């Protein structure tokens, strides 16, 4: 079976188009592979594979700690991408998006990076600190290689929404509210208005991220957008189960199942 592209997977999904984020190498590479597989089993349509970075400007405390643990394990952009073929061999079929800050990409070279994304059977990229103005060349090269460069819009994007939405590939990542990644209790009326506005400007499906952590968040967004992205809430579960996940055996399997059922509960809400 040929793998779906990010575009196809996003378009095909019924609400909620579900996109989990997992940090490569937290707590170790083999657990990352297991987690990716559990995400697909739980019903995820696309998975974001996070590359740990020393200075993650857009991330809150949970993902900062997660990145730190992964870096201590020696995780890098190259090694993280090399996990994807293993995931494929183990049966992962959904598209994988490499989520990385720009500096590691710059060191590798953008062209080499995109070649490796493709070579390692991943399907798209997301670079949170490479805004529209700085990412035009990369978006074009990615597209020529059948890869999607995911664009973001934020509540402050205002007049920028239209031009960003026009160039969006795969899905449009809509940042729910101001601030860094991490859980928020609830979303304001303004947030819903903003998301609706983005949804009406976008030709590709709109997925909302930043702060999605509970079934009712997902429920409340039905009819407002096409899906959700969940990162911190999942990596928080990983953090809570670190000791179990770090060893082999039944305890680890239980922890993985627990994370899977958390994700299932978000999807089926």
Partner 1 sequence: MSRVYPDNNGRFGSFGGKFVPETLMYALEELEKSLTEAWEDTTFVEEYKHTLAEYAGRPTPLTYAERLTQKLGGAKIYLKREDLLHTGAHKLNNAVGQALLAKRMGKSKIVAETGAGQHGVATATVCARLGLECKVFMGEEDMRRQELNVFRMELLGAEVVPAVSGSKTLKDATNEAIRYWVANVEDTFYLIGSVVGPHPYPKMVRDFQRIIGDETKEQLQDKEGTLPDAAAACVGGGSNAIGMFYPFLEDNVELFGAEAAGKGISTKKHAATITKGTKGVIHGSLTYLIQDENGQIIEPYSISAGLDYPGIGPEHAYLAESGRVAYEGVTDKEALEALSLLTRAEGILPAIESAHALHLAFKKAKEMKEGQTIVICLSGRGDKDVNSIKEEWKRSLNHD
Which residues make up the interface to partner 1 (CB under 8 A)?
A: 53-55, 57-58, 60-61, 64, 71, 76-78, 101-108, 128-134, 152-160, 164, 175, 178-180
Rounded CA gap, 76 and 239, in Å? 20
Tell me the residue length of the chain. Answer: 269
Q: Is 48 a catalytic residue?
A: yes
Tell me whether residue 130 or residue 230 sits nearer to partner 1 (CB atom): 130
In terms of CB distance, is 43 or 179 closer to partner 1?
Answer: 179
CA pair distance 212, 33, nearest whole angstrom: 23
Buried b (16+ CB within 10 A) or exposed e, 179-193: ebbbbbeebeeebbe
The distance of closest approach from Cβ of residue 76 to partner 1 in the complex, given in angstroms and rounded to an integer, is: 4
Q: Which of 48, 82, 169, 190 is catalytic?
A: 48
Nearer to partner 1 (CB atom), residue 141 or residue 177: 177
Helices (runs of H) and strands (runs of E) counted in the chain: 14, 9
Terminal Cα-to-Cα distance of the chain (whole angstroms):
29
Q: What is the rounded distance in angstroms from the CA atom of residue 227 to the CA atom of residue 102? A: 25
Query: Which secondary structure element, helix H or strand E, spans residue 126, and what is its range?
Result: strand 124-126
Whose CA is closest to 45, among 79, 81, 90, 3? 3
Residue 210 CB, nearest distance to partner 1 (Å)? 9
Q: Which of 34, 40, 59, 169 is catalytic?
A: 59
CB of 140 to partner 1, least distance (A): 17
CB of 1 to partner 1, least distance (A): 34
Give 13 or 139: the residue with its C-beta nearer to partner 1.
139
Positions marked catalytic:
48, 59
């Amino acid at each position: 079976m040929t793998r779906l592209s990010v575009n196809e997977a996003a378009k095909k999904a019924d609400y909620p188009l579900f996109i989990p984020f997992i940090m490569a190498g937290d707590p170790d590479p083999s657990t990352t592979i297991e987690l990716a597989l559990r995400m697909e089993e739980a019903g995820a349509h696309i998975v974001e594979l996070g590359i740990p970075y020393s200075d993650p400007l857009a991330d809150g405390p949970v993902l900062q700690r997660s990145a730190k643990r992964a870096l201590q394990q020696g995780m890098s952009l190259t090694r993280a991408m090399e996990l994807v073929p293993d995931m494929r061999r183990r049966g992962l079929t959904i598209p994988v998006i490499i989520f990385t800050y720009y500096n590691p990409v710059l060191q590798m070279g953008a062209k080499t990076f995109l070649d490796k994304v493709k070579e390692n059977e991943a399907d798209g990229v997301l670079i949170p600190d490479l805004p529209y103005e700085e990412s035009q060349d990369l978006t074009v090269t990615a597209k020529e290689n059948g890869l999607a460069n995911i664009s973001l819009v934020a509540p402050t994007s205002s007049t920028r929404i239209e031009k960003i939405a026009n160039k969006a590939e795969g899905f449009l990542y809509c940042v729910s509210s101001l601030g860094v990644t991490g859980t928020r209790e609830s979303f304001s009326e303004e947030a819903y208005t903003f998301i609706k506005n983005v949804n009406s400007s976008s030709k590709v499906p709109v997925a909302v991220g930043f702060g999605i952590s509970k079934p009712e968040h997902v429920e409340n967004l039905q009819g407002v957008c096409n899906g959700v992205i969940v990162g911190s809430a999942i990596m928080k579960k990983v953090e809570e189960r670190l000791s179990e996940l770090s060893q082999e055996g039944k305890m680890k399997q239980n922890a993985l199942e627990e994370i899977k059922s958390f994700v299932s509960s978000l999807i089926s809400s």
